[in-house]
Each structure stands twice: as structure tokens, then as C-alpha cells.
Amino acid sequence: MTVVYDDIDQLPAKKPGTTRYVCMSDTHARTRFPFTIPDGDVFIHAGDMTSFGTTSKQYAPTIRWMGSLPHKVKIVCAGNHDHCMDLAFHGVEPERRKIMQLFQEHGITYVEHSALQLPEFLGGHRFFVSPYTTWHYGGAFMKRSLENKWHDMPEGIDILVTHGPAYDHLDQTRRGIKAGCPHLADRIRHVRPKVHVFGHIHEAHGHAVQDNVLFINAAHGQPIVFDL
């Protein structure tokens, strides 16, 4: 059973046999916040570490901040503002290598459109993590159509992490536009992960359950915590 918490200041102790996840996204180079980031087992950052990050120096403060967090595992993907990470956009290979080295030095697991699995002592949960986002004002890892990309998502995953939302799931902008990806929504209905963590649409921060999937938009707000 997945349990999500609304009050991060009064978190109960997690039950034995569960893993506590702390989710954030779209921090855009901020490393100081008007709230305390809760402790937990796994920290997830769903992209936009920077604001138009093109050099390793722009990533370094955020990577050092994440490295200082107490969580046993830190899982990170890129977002459309993390330009340097997308070599097909504005990425530069030497700068990307420096960023990858920083991730390694600070104990952060960077994942780019691939699967991973936690060790058994953390629940053995299976992930698929991807930076890709449907086209919305442009940026890194953005495509006009992502139908073929989402075919790479395997079945049997527990937690899906993407930078952008699925269509009609916490994806509405202030202008009333639903900016999520319809092909991602279709794939989620087929794969049926327990949890989908994402960001990108700042004003849609929050969580909701639909068809037994917990959708978490962790963008630009206080962390969202869940136990699985």
C-alpha cells in the first residue's frame, strides 16, 4: 500500500518493511528553501536542477546540496532547463562529463531514460526514469511526439519518474492548457506503475490518485513524501 503525506512537518514514523521517498522537482538552482527537507530512504529529483544550465559550474551548487542530504539513495533525472545534459540540444560533451563526475563524487544516481532497481534492503522497487517531455515552450529533451520513446518503458515497474506529466494528470497551466503527454498517459494505463513522480508544470504541484496510480507533481514547492 502506498501512503502519501500532506504535512511534511508532522510525518509519522514509517512502518517496518516500507521505504520512504522524498520528492522534489524544478528547484532551478535554488539550494535554500523556506522549509526543512524531510529525512527518508530515497530522495527523488525529477529534473530542472538549473535555469538554462549550460556549464558544470551551474550544476555544482545543486549537486553539492543534494549530496549533503541524509537519504541513502538519491535519484535524479534532467529536465528541459538542464540544457547541458542533452547533447542533441545544447549539450557539450566535456561539460556533461564534468557534471556526471560531480554526480558520482556526491553519491547521486543520475538516470536518463532507463530502468534501475533498488537493493532489497530498500524494498527492491523497480524504476523507470526519463527526462523526456512533450513540446511545451521548447528546451532540452523535448519532442513533438514521444510515442516511440515511451515504448521503452518496461512493464512491471513500481515507480515511474519523468520530468513532465502525463496528459490530464496534474498538468494544467495557469492558462488552462493541459501540457502533459497523451502518449505517456497511454503507456501508464498499460504499465500501471504504483507511483508516477514528475514536475515541469509548477502551478500544478500536488498529488492525486487515479486508477490506483499515485501521481505526484513535485515541481517548485515543498517536498512530497510517500511510503511504499
Q: pLDDT digit string (tens) for 116-137?
A: 999 999 999 999 999 999 987 7
Choose among 118, 29, 131: nearest CA to 74.
Answer: 118
Q: Across residues 11-15, what is the average pLDDT?
A: 95
Q: Tell me, what amino acid is at 146?
A: L
pLDDT for 137 equals: 74
Residue 144 confidence (pLDDT) above 90: no
Choose among 166, 200, 163, 196: nearest CA to 183.
Answer: 166
**All structural domains of the chain with their residue ranges:** 3-227
Helices (H), 112-194: 147-150, 182-191
Percent of the chain with pLDDT over 70: 100
Q: Across residues 81-88, what is the average pLDDT?
A: 93
Residue 102 confidence (pLDDT) above 80: yes
Residue range 3-227 forms a domain whose CATH class is alpha beta
Please state, in angstroms and rounded to a whole number, the distance separating the CA atoms of residues 125 and 117.
6
Choose among 109, 43, 55, 105: nearest CA to 85.
Answer: 55
Q: Across residues 210-218, what is the average pLDDT?
A: 96
Question: For 174-189, how does the pLDDT look when each residue is reduced to its tens digit (9 = 90+)?
Answer: 999 899 999 999 999 9
Of residues 153 and 145, more confidently modeled: 153
pLDDT for 6 equals: 87
Confidence class of residue 202 from pLDDT cuts 50, 70 and 90? Answer: very high
Question: To 10 degrees, what angle do helices 93-105 and 56-68 make?
Answer: 10
Model confidence, pTM? 0.97
Residue 112 in grid coordinates: 536518463
Please state, in angstroms and rounded to a whole number, the distance separating the CA atoms of residues 127 and 130.
10
Please state, in angstroms and rounded to a whole number, the distance separating the CA atoms of residues 17 and 144.
42
